[in-house]
Each structure stands twice: as structure tokens, then as C-alpha cells.
Amino acid sequence: MKKTVKVSVIALLLLAIVGCKHDEVSIFDMEFASMSVPCQINSHSMEVDSASKLPIDIESSIINAMKNFEGEPYVLKTTIPSDWYLLSKVESFSDEFDIWLIASEGEPIYKVLATVDLSKREVISAIPIVYNVGREMSKYVESEEWSCEIDSLYNVVVTKTYDKLFSLSDEGYKEGESKNKKVIDRYFIDSYGNFVYVEKPHFDIDYTAVIQFADTARMTIPLDESWIWNEIALHERLEPMNILFQTSFKDFDQLSVYNYSGEEVDIVDVSELVKKNNTGYILLRKGKAPELVPYDVATTCLARLATYLGIEMPDSWQTATEEEVEEEGETKTESNTLSDWLW
């Protein structure tokens, strides 16, 4: 009798286990909200559902992608989480694969974009797109944040920023020790579901340039005629010395530098400098850190340029006054309006 009871209990337990397994729904069959493109994805917290935990084989693929991806690596390295969850889906352009937004739980915040083969139920490709971590040390704080944009053509842009700030009250503080870094990595999703890294252009050209800039999107006061006189003075004095000159009003995080033939010689990120002043000049030299000159008369810019280049200021640079430029360019600018010069 006892033996019969034992067998019955074991049988019931086996049936319960089988029943539970039968009731489990694969994550591939679960319904998830879908994000439409274009969209932006940042580090804002999103609660994860324990039911959306990824299968072990999918998690392994995600962890491998976190360790091996093309693009700028992490500056602040942390332990990669072992548990990953499906947050939502991103509308896909293919019936062959899904696009998943995957995240870890807790801090630091990690988010990954992955393409998943629907028939094989496996990850095709994955890249980290969001990362948010910070730490406070005795004399400085540092933070790193990544965010992502996906456009309607499925181009994926991951913007990565890193900041290190020292306390001004600390003895021995050096302003130059503070750092900020911004990098943009670009990818696109091909027809097979692979994230393809877009290589950054490499320019092996020596140049010196002056950028006269105005961040018109942030300006409340319109540019006046002095802008034109300074532009004329700088252009006429720099071009004979083969120093490039241009005016710029936008896209300071990916500013193209052109030679006098209209050919692109470099792409630079001067957005952090532009944040300090709405108008001014950026001094550039290949292999040297850019320098900001607050907006002033052309002679001030030229004097700073001479110091930046480590040369004596040429005589022609010392006469770049508005009156002299006006005399030199009177006929040249006779038919041009302010808007002609600015735009």
C-alpha cells in the first residue's frame, strides 16, 4: 500500500512539472510593444518584466556582442550583467527577422539592439547602443553616457560622451586635467539583419584653418555688418598664406573643413567649444587641439592665431581693421547684402 502511494505521489509531481512546462510561453511567441522608426533611445529607466528574461543562448549572444563590437569602446569599464530582458521590439523592414531592444536590470544601464532570426530563433547581430555609468572619486567625478537614434532608413547613430571633472576647491587642480570626449559611431542594418559599421573617413592631409562661427540656433541677437568685415579681412589675409578659412553656422559636432577648391580635408567635433560662446573663431591645425577665440575684431583673431601657430604676427595681419577692409573691398561688396554674405 505504501509503495502504491509513493508511486502515485511521484506521478503527480511529474505531471505537475510537465504541465508547468507546457504552460510556459516562449519569448518568441510573446506579444511586445513595437517602437516605430525614426526613434530615439536613451538611458531613461524602463522596468523589466521577469517574464521577458531572455533564454540562455540568446543571453550568451548578447554578452558576446557587448565584448566584441566595432566602434568606440567603453571608457569606464564595468562588469557586464549576466541577466538580460526584452524591453520592446522595433518595427522591422523584413519578415525574416525581428529587431529587439534588450536591456539589463539595475545599474549601470545597458541597452542593446539585436536582430533575431525568426525561423532559427537566434541572434543574427547585436550592438550596444545605450550605456550610463558614473563614479565619484576623491578629487573628481566622471561619467559616460551613450544614446541612440534610428532613422527611417535604419541607419543607427550611437553618440558616446565621456566627462571627467575635477573639483575647483582641490589644491593642485589643473584645468587641463578635466576631459570631455564625444564620439559618434554609425551603423546600418543590411538586408540580412547584420549591423554594418560605417568606417570613419581618414584624412591624411596637413592643414591650418580658421572657422568663423555663429550658432544661430542659440542666438537671440542677429549678426551685424561687423561679421562681414571680419570675414572679408580674415579671408583676404589667410588665403595667400594657404591657411584655410570658412564660416559655419551648424553641425558643430561633425564640422567639415574644406580647402579653397571645395574639397573636404577633415571632419572635426568642436561642439564643446561652441557651447562656451555663440559666436567666435575656432583655430585648427592638423594634430593639434582646437582653440576657441571669443568673437572680436579680425586683428584679435589673427594675433591669437599667430600665438597658436608659434609664429610672429605678419605685418599684413596687423592692418585688418574694418576701415581698411572697407576701402579694399568697397567695390567687391557693393552689390552684396548682409544676407548674401551670411547665407
Q: Which residue has the cell 518595427?
A: 91
Supply the pLDDT for residue 318: 78
What is the DSSP code string of 86-143? EEEEE--S-SSEEEEEEEESSSSEEEEEEEEETTTTEEEEEEEEEEEEEEE-SSEEEE
Which residue pairs, CB below 8 angstroms and at least 24 apart, start in 12-16?
Answer: none
Q: Which helix (H) or strand (E) holds 44?
A: none
- Measured CA to CA in angstroms, residue 129 lies from 42, 187, 193, 332 at distances of 8, 11, 16, 51
Mean pLDDT by 10 residues, the chain (343 residues): 47 44 67 90 78 89 92 92 92 95 89 95 96 88 94 95 75 58 91 94 87 87 85 92 93 89 89 88 92 92 93 81 52 40 37
Supply the pLDDT for residue 326: 54
Q: What is the DSSP letter of 311?
A: -
**Which overall architecture, per CATH, does domain 208-342 show?**
3-Layer(aba) Sandwich (3.40)
Supply the pLDDT for residue 226: 87
Q: What is the DSSP letter of 305?
A: H
- What's the whole-model pTM score? 0.67
- Give Cβ neighbours of residue 4 (< 8 Å, ≥ 6 apart): none
Supply the pLDDT for residue 331: 39
Supply the pLDDT for residue 323: 53
Q: Which residues make up the CATH 3.40.30 domain(s) of the chain? A: 208-342
Supply the pLDDT for residue 188: 96
